[in-house]
Amino acid sequence: MSGRGRTMLLTFDDGPDPRYTPDILDTLAKYDVRATFFVCGEMADHNRDLLSRMADEGHVVGNHTWSHPLLTRLGRRRIRSEMERTSEVVEQAYGELPRWFRAPYGAWNRAAFQLGAELGMEPLAWTVDTLDWTTPGTGTIVDRVADGAAPGVVVLSHDAGGDRSQSVRALRSYLPELLDSGYHLTVPRRRYV
């Protein structure tokens, strides 16, 4: 994504989780904002209805592997399996193959980049990490987003993998603030079609 304009991306990793993802989707819908969800296949497989809702509401669903392993410790065959299985579930529930992937823990390696490309996906990292998985408090998450807000920023949050109630509350607070500050929150666009 270019840094031109006041455009930012909101991304959510590790879901979908029936406890938190619906609240995040409700908040995004309230403000007519689209986000990108990097789903884990084993979560997506049990929550296909949430992927269907993401498709219906115009969100982007990306691949975050099947079981969230540390890819740098896996061989190519296992990495491919983690990505392929997730892409299959996404295609079935969301309606199309994912075009984006994100390595768990941000631990990229050459094999992950190559295999992602072979499966038709581009990598997407982040520039602002809310560290919401550490449950630092709603106010701290809001402050991290506000302090990091800038054109071209990609915000990382989580909608699964533990208690994400702080992430849900934080989104309700920082989303209207970003919009009031003139930011346009969107989804990634492919460089190559």
Angstrom distance (rounded) from CA 155 to CA 128: 5
Annotated active-site residue in 59, 64, 68, 158: 158
Give the CA distances from residue 100 to residues 32, 58, 182, in Å, rounded to whole numbers and listed in that order.
Answer: 22, 15, 26
Give the CA distances from residue 183 to residues 58, 60, 139, 177, in Å, rounded to whole numbers and listed in that order.
Answer: 18, 19, 20, 9
Give the CA distances from residue 85 to residues 51, 58, 60, 82, 89, in Å, rounded to whole numbers and listed in that order.
Answer: 15, 23, 18, 6, 7
The answer to whether residue 158 is catalytic is yes
Give the CA distances from residue 165 to residues 47, 67, 108, 159, 174, in Å, rounded to whole numbers and listed in that order.
Answer: 18, 22, 28, 9, 14
Annotated active-site residue in 13, 17, 45, 132: 13
Under 8 Å between Cβ of 142 and 170: yes
The answer to whether residue 13 is catalytic is yes
Under 8 Å between Cβ of 20 and 164: yes
Q: Among all residues, which ones are annotated catalytic?
A: 13, 158
